[in-house]
Every structure is written in structure tokens, then in C-alpha cells.
Amino acid sequence: MNRKESALVCILFFIYPSEDIVYICDKMIV
């Protein structure tokens, strides 16, 4: 997953909060 895709996933999290997406965003940031 590239940075552009991970950014889109994080944007989706703000629209549709989900623990799975939070986990993905956390892995992308760290």
C-alpha cells in the first residue's frame, strides 16, 4: 500500500470510523 492509498484509507476512517481502519492507519504512520 502506498502513501496515497493509506491517506485515502485514513480519510475513509473519518467518514466511517472503524477499528480496523484505525489499525491500518497506525501501521502506516509508525
pLDDT at 16: 73
Number of domains making up the chain: 1
Enclosing domain of residue 23: 1-30
Contacts of 17 (CB under 8 A, 6+ apart): none
pLDDT at 7: 80
The pTM (predicted TM-score) of the whole model is: 0.37
pLDDT in tens, 1-30: 577 877 877 777 777 766 776 777 677 666
pLDDT at 30: 62
pLDDT at 27: 73
- Rounded CA-CA distance 24/2 in Å is 12
pLDDT at 10: 72
